[in-house]
């Protein structure tokens, strides 16, 4: 078996098939790293250069009967971090694999907005076609089509316009929305297609969003959609294709029944009887409670008693209505598009509800009413934004107004936000949802000069420009714009915001953050010990993504991944392989001026410092109280040194 990849040059409208031995390329991330670092050397040029290949691919187990193995990984140079980044979307490979290859790479820049069609037959790739769409036509579709707008409207239009092609190939379109063309926060969006109803499957929408891959596809390559499918199937051993053989093979490898192992590993995401709910939203809120990040992470400064009272309000007004509707009444659960017993997509009144999108425009900005936040999340999704990044942007801008760094008219909102956590008033706080909706629409339309800056440059660069533009306000308040934002800086201009957890794991010096390639538990420990835990998770998560496995299946898949590769005739130390590829990501980012740098933001620093106090790390609490910055630099630099030793690289990969 070989890993098959298709290089598509959208400027020349040409394509080239490449095949790699599995000891060369084990999966889509390997392929993406090899292409960027060795072939196109995209680090030499601007991330807006057409050499910034967007790689989208499945793992080598796609097409098998294994549960959870049809995730697609996307590799690209991010317009946010300025370095190599990886994002993923679930279930898409289940239909994508039929196009005749495991992965595609988009290079070049189309002369007009383009839709790329890839058809596979039993022999492999049969055809690649390019269909132009006029900008005004694309805008009219985004404005509204088939009862939807944005990315959802574009996918519905593709289904209706190219129905014969989609029905024959079983293709699942991957599209971008308006956010991808107008901001650097654009996601790739793919909603599963119901071939019987000729419509989108409500609740089975997926987003490859972190780092802005949609913005790369749109702004760098001028591509609006990829429609790939067909009848090709990889040549896999019968052990992976016959369910009874597979069950025996996996059961023997695990030492327990396959079905039981999968059920046990995915309990949180399907249904956890301890909470009477499931999915990330259903479990995270009752699990984390007073450790939840609230009011743009200002909760880290609150006494535990206050945080507990706010958590009680969240449970009563935000979580319970979800639990009652989804687990006691309607019980609408979906998958990402592949057969999977986890059914992790929990649908509330027609909308898929996950923790992070609903946290970002929920409790993070004080909104604790599901009917309020669902409108904002739906707008974010249809416009095609990265929901985590846009959650940070909204919280940062709202607090900037709340603190007096900005006026409401500077960002086009109708009134001042209510962000006082001591009010303990759900009705008052929930008014922020309408302001968030105004901001989402304002960002995609660049309604004000401030919003234009943020949309085009991101939080870090915009904050520094705003420091100069509003120097009098900054001076009077003794507060910089970046001090209200939470991000890890990369190089001169890049950055990445963390996922919504109170943890050091997204703010330590690692080459790829904003994803779960870290230890994101609420913990604080000696930097050397913490580096070991982050290192292990980074490699394991790399291995899962590179194999195309959903991390919700990590509880069983990680244990036998090497054994599964043996089915394909590959005998490899996958930890060492992941370590080598991770080193290459570091190498790329160093060349691209995207080294992780010490924290610039006061709020970001305090995320780590306050956690030491919260968890009773008395020695570090004492150090931080005497000289916070010096002590934090010590902790951070010791982490970097330990991480470098584990990886076998020079500690200069990170900058103080």
Annotate 190-203 with DSSP letters as a single string: EEEEETTTTEEEEE
Do 107 and 241 meet the contact criterion of CB atoms below 8 Å apart? no
Under the phi-then-psi rule, with left for phi > 0, alpha for psi from -120 to 50, and beta for the rest, what region is 510?
A: beta
Is the pLDDT reported for residue 228 higher than 90? yes
Which pLDDT does position 523 carry in this prediction?
A: 97
Question: pLDDT tens digits, residue range 459-498?
Answer: 999 999 999 999 999 999 999 999 999 999 999 999 999 9
| Beta pairing class for 103-107 and 2-9 | parallel
Do 653 and 586 meet the contact criterion of CB atoms below 8 Å apart? yes
Which pLDDT does position 179 carry in this prediction?
A: 98
| HSE-up of residue 284 (Cα within 13 Å, Cβ side) | 23
- Which of these, 169, 171, 168, lies nearest to 155 by C-alpha position? 171
Q: Stretch 177-197: mean pLDDT, rounded?
A: 97
Mean pLDDT of all residues belonging to the chain = 97
- Band (pLDDT 50/70/90 cuts) for residue 642 is very high
- Band (pLDDT 50/70/90 cuts) for residue 5 is very high
Which pLDDT does position 609 carry in this prediction?
A: 98
Q: Stretch 412-432: mean pLDDT, rounded?
A: 98
Annotate 444-496 with DSSP letters as a single string: HHT-SHHHHHHHHHHHHHHHHHHHHHTHHHHHHHT--GGGG---EEETTTEEE
- Band (pLDDT 50/70/90 cuts) for residue 244 is very high
In angstroms, the CA 561 to CA 451 distance is 45
- Band (pLDDT 50/70/90 cuts) for residue 307 is very high
Question: pLDDT tens digits, residue range 274-301?
Answer: 999 999 999 999 999 999 999 999 999 9
Is the pLDDT reported for residue 186 higher than 90? yes
Question: pLDDT tens digits, residue range 69-84?
Answer: 999 999 999 999 999 9
Question: pLDDT tens digits, residue range 566-584?
Answer: 999 999 999 999 999 999 9
Question: pLDDT tens digits, residue range 123-182?
Answer: 999 999 999 999 999 999 999 999 999 999 999 999 999 999 999 999 999 999 999 999
In angstroms, the CA 313 to CA 426 distance is 8
Is the pLDDT reported for residue 331 higher than 90? no
Q: Stretch 372-382: mean pLDDT, rounded?
A: 98
In angstroms, the CA 175 to CA 172 distance is 10
In angstroms, the CA 189 to CA 207 distance is 5
Domains and CATH numbers, the chain: 2-235 (3.60.9.10), 267-478 (1.10.569.10), 527-653 (no CATH)
In angstroms, the CA 434 to CA 652 distance is 45
Question: pLDDT tens digits, residue range 509-562?
Answer: 999 999 999 999 999 999 999 999 999 999 999 999 999 999 999 999 999 999
Do 88 and 554 meet the contact criterion of CB atoms below 8 Å apart? no
3-state SS assignment for residue 376:
helix
Any idea what the Cα angle at residue 471 is, between residues 466 and 475, rounded to 5°?
A: 125
Which pLDDT does position 226 carry in this prediction?
A: 98
- Band (pLDDT 50/70/90 cuts) for residue 652 is very high
- Sole residue written with tokens 């991000």: 487
Which pLDDT does position 573 carry in this prediction?
A: 96
């Amino acid at each position: 078996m070989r890993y098959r990849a298709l290089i598509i040059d959208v400027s020349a409208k040409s394509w080239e098939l490449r095949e790699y031995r599995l000891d060369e390329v084990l999966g889509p991330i390997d392929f993406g790293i090899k292409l960027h670092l060795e072939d196109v050397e995209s680090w030499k040029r601007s991330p807006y250069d057409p050499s910034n290949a967007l790689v989208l691919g499945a793992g080598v187990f796609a097409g098998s009967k294994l549960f959870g193995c049809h995730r697609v990984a996307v590799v690209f140079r991010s317009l946010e971090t300025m370095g190599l980044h990886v994002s993923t979307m679930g279930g898409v490979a289940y239909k994508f694999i039929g196009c005749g290859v495991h992965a595609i790479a988009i290079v070049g820049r189309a002369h007009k907005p383009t839709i790329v069609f890839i058809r596979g037959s039993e022999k492999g790739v049969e055809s690649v076609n390019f269909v132009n769409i006029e900008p005004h036509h694309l805008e009219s579709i985004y404005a509204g089509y088939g009862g939807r707008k944005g990315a959802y409207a574009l996918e519905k239009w593709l289904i209706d316009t190219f129905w014969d092609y989609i029905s024959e190939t079983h293709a699942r379109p991957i599209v971008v929305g308006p956010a991808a063309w107008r901001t650097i926060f654009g996601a790739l969006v793919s909603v599963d297609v119901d071939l019987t109803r000729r419509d989108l499957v409500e609740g089975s929408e997926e987003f490859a969003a972190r780092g802005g891959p949609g913005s790369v596809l749109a702004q760098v390559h001028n591509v609006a959609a990829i429609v790939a499918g067909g009848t090709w199937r990889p040549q896999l051993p019968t052990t992976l294709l016959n369910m009874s053989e597979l069950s025996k093979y996996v059961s023997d490898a695990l030492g327990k029944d396959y079905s039981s192992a999968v059920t046990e590993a995915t309990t949180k995401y399907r249904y956890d009887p301890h909470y009477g709910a499931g999915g990330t939203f259903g479990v995270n809120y009752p699990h984390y409670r007073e450790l939840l990040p609230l009011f743009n992470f200002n909760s880290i400064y609150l006494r535990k008693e206050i945080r507990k009272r706010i958590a009680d309000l969240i449970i009563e007004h935000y979580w319970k209505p979800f639990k009652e509707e989804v687990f006691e009444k309607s019980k609408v659960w979906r998958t990402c598009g592949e057969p999977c017993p986890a059914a992790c997509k929990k649908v509330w009144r027609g909308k898929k509800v996950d923790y992070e999108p609903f946290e970002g425009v929920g409790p993070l900005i004080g909104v604790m009413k599901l009917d309020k936040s669902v409108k904002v999340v739906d707008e974010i999704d249809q416009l095609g934004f990265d929901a985590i990044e846009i959650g940070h942007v909204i919280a940062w801008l709202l607090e900037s107004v709340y603190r007096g760094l900005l006026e409401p008219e500077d960002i086009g909102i109708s009134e001042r936000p209510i962000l006082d956590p001591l009010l303990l008033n759900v009705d008052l706080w929930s008014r922020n949802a309408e302001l968030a909706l105004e901001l989402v629409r304002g960002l995609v339309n660049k309604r004000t000069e401030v919003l234009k800056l943020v949309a085009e440059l991101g939080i870090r660069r915009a904050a520094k420009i705003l420091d100069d533009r509003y120097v009098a306000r900054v001076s009077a308040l003794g507060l910089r714009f970046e001090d209200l934002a939470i991000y890890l800086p990369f190089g001169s201009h890049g950055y990445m915001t963390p996922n919504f957890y109170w943890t050091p794991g997204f703010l330590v010096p690692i080459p790829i953050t904003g994803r779960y390639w870290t230890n994101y538990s609420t913990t604080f420990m000696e930097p050397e010990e913490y580096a070991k835990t982050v290192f292990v998770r980074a490699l394991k998560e790399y291995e899962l993504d590179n194999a195309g496995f959903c991390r919700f299946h990590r509880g069983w898949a990680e244990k036998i991944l090497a054994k599964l590769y043996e089915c394909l005739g590959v005998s490899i130390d996958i930890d060492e392989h992941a370590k080598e590829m991770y080193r290459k990501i570091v190498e790329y980012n160093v060349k691209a001026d995207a080294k992780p740098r010490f924290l610039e933001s006061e709020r970001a620093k305090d995320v780590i410092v306050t956690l030491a106090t919260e968890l009773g790390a008395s020695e570090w609490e004492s150090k931080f109280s005497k000289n916070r910055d010096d002590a934090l630099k010590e902790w951070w630099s010791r982490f970097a040194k330990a991480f470098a030793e584990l990886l076998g690289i020079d500690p200069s990969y990170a900058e103080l």
